Amino acid sequence: MPNIFAAIDLGSNSFHMIVGRHEDGQIIILDRLREMVRLASGLDEKNNITPEMMKTALECLSRFGERIAHLHADVVRIVGTNTLRQAKNSRTFMRKAEKLLGQPIEIISGIEEARLLYSGVAHNIDSDDTRRLVVDIGGGSTEIIIGERYRTISLESLYMGCVNTTKRFFADGKISKKRVKKALMYSMTELEPYIKSYNNLGWENTIGASGTIRAIEKITREENLADFGITQKSLTYIMEHVIKAGDIDNIDLKGLKNERKPVIIGGIVVLQSIFDAFNIKLMRVSDGALREGILYDLIGRNQNNDSRSESIEKFAERFVIDRRHGTQVKNTAIELYQQAEKEWFSKTPEALKYCQWAATLHEVGLSIAHNQYHRHGEYMVSNADLMGFSKENRPCWQP
């Protein structure tokens, strides 16, 4: 079994790459690369990635590609998040990027992003039985998750992040109480559908992850606003400071890097709305994030602990599929696969898994109607949140 794994996160604000060695159930980090690409700011009015931004992003990925050139496809996973979900020309970008990286790119759903994020956080904090609220403010989306240990209970992904919030409400760099109030109202509107259900579930600890929250935590620490983590009091101080600055260029906070300054106001607004919505008093900050979650997911796949298989089983159970018949079809599919493996599938090592998953779910459409069941099934599998799968690689068929 391989023990070197790599994950690349094509985020809306930064591109990250992490390479790690798996030993005794732990990941030893061998290399980290991070570049502030700010992809979300490169979308034009028609939601296309501009040529200038595409050039910047591809130059970054060319450097990433050199680092993973020697790694096999089954130990590398590259995911795109909110901006690539949005961009109308994401396919054009991905074709060029995949040539540079030598590996396929998956555009994952917000829910899959939240699942992987929680895994990254859960593996990087002290393991206990307490229920947690985990928050990640990215460039284009914000994930909020409730979970226990390594199990998620509720996952949501909201269309608001540090880049798009800054772009929407502070595009000219000017900051005022009126603008901040308007931005907070928008953020609270995005959170509103989830406030009651999340508060009803409850949690004991709140944990933040990734760049924006880590940047605010660093400001809190270096401005001596709290002993650790982020408090409501420290966040209020930071908000008052940036409003007083009046302009993004005038923000002067200890610990705030120049590369983070152009989008920090959007991140502060989103975090303040989350503190208000869920009555948070203290948020601890984790070093683990999406890329670490991707690594642990890859390790699971290589150790026959594949989250995708679990997802297929839960889907089959939910829609009461005839498992005996599904197993017969799966066995027949395996026999056919083995006959054609050398000729057709020598370059697609996971083809057998997809063949088995598709066979398991091939009659799921019967839960809707017998007539045209295959079309119902194709629609269900294509549009469901199947954990572990991106939209491009779901185990479905074209009728």
Statement to judge: residues 267 and 170 lie in one domain = yes
Statement to judge: residues 129 and 256 lie in one domain = yes
Domain boundary residue, one of 74, 109, 144: 109
- List, as own/partner pairs, every contact residues 26-35 make where C-beta atoms lie below 8 angstroms and the sequence separation is at least 24, other chains included: 27/123, 27/292, 27/295, 27/296, 27/299, 30/4, 31/67, 33/63, 33/64, 33/67, 35/60, 35/63
Least confident among 57-66, 87-96, 341-350: 341-350
Statement to judge: residues 177 and 233 lie in one domain = yes
Per the DSSP assignment, residues forming a β-bridge with 341 are none
Statement to judge: residues 164 and 249 lie in one domain = yes
State the pLDDT at residue 145: 97
Statement to judge: residues 265 and 164 lie in one domain = yes
- The angle at the Cα of 145, spanning 194 to 183, to the nearest 5 degrees, equals 55
Statement to judge: residues 14 and 49 lie in one domain = yes
Statement to judge: residues 240 and 367 lie in one domain = no
User: 333 near 326, Cβ under 8 Å?
Assistant: no
Domain boundary residue, one of 255, 286, 317: 286
Name residues whose C-beta falls within 8 Å of residue 85's C-beta, 6 or more positions apart in sequence. 107, 109, 110
Residues counted in the chain:
399
Q: What is the CATH number of the domain that holds 166?
A: 3.30.420.150
For residue 90, tell me if it sits in a domain: yes
For residue 133, tell me if it sits in a domain: yes
Statement to judge: residues 166 and 81 lie in one domain = no
Q: What's the rounded Cα separation, in Å, for the pair 123 and 58?
A: 31
Domain boundary residue, one of 60, 81, 109: 109
| Domain of 371, in residue numbers | 306-383
For residue 293, tell me if it sits in a domain: no
Residue 6 has pLDDT above 80, yes or no: yes
State the pLDDT at residue 399: 43
For residue 313, tell me if it sits in a domain: yes
Closest to 176 in 3D by CA, of 229, 228, 248: 248
Per-residue pLDDT band for 374 (boundaries 50, 70, 90) equals confident
Statement to judge: residues 185 and 323 lie in one domain = no
Least confident among 124-128, 156-160, 215-219: 124-128
Statement to judge: residues 275 and 135 lie in one domain = yes
For residue 291, tell me if it sits in a domain: no
Per-residue pLDDT band for 115 (boundaries 50, 70, 90) equals very high
For residue 399, tell me if it sits in a domain: no
Q: What's the rounded Cα separation, in Å, for the pair 47 and 43?
A: 5
Q: What's the rounded Cα separation, in Å, for the pair 168 and 110?
A: 21
Burial class (CB in 10 A: 0-12, 13-18, 19+), 197: exposed
What's the mean pLDDT in 165-172? 96
Pairing mode of beta strands 205-209, 282-285: parallel
What's the mean pLDDT in 216-234? 95
Residue 107 has pLDDT above 70, yes or no: yes
Give the count of domains, the chain. 3
For residue 398, tell me if it sits in a domain: no
Q: What is the CATH number of the domain that holds 365?
A: 1.10.3210.10
- List, as own/partner pairs, every contact residues 127-130 make where C-beta atoms lie below 8 angstroms and the sequence separation is at least 24, other chains included: 130/203, 130/204, 130/205
Alpha helix locations (H) across the chain?
51-68, 82-86, 90-101, 110-122, 162-169, 177-201, 210-222, 232-245, 261-277, 290-302, 307-318, 323-344, 351-361, 373-383
Which is more confidently placed, 35 or 345? 35
User: 114 near 157, Cβ under 8 Å?
Assistant: yes
For residue 295, tell me if it sits in a domain: no
Tokens of 60: 């970054």
Name residues whose C-beta falls within 8 Å of residue 305's C-beta, 6 or more positions apart in sequence. none
Name residues whose C-beta falls within 8 Å of residue 39's C-beta, 6 or more positions apart in sequence. 10, 11, 12, 13, 15, 49, 53, 57, 83, 84, 139
- The angle at the Cα of 49, spanning 45 to 87, to the nearest 5 degrees, equals 80
Phi and psi based region of residue 202 (left: phi greater than 0; alpha: psi -120 to 50; beta: remaining): left
Name residues whose C-beta falls within 8 Å of residue 327's C-beta, 6 or more positions apart in sequence. none
Statement to judge: residues 354 and 280 lie in one domain = no
Per-residue pLDDT band for 112 (boundaries 50, 70, 90) equals very high
- Model pTM score: 0.85
Least confident among 20-29, 168-177, 314-323, 337-346: 337-346
Chain Cα centroid distance, residue 222: 29
Statement to judge: residues 238 and 337 lie in one domain = no
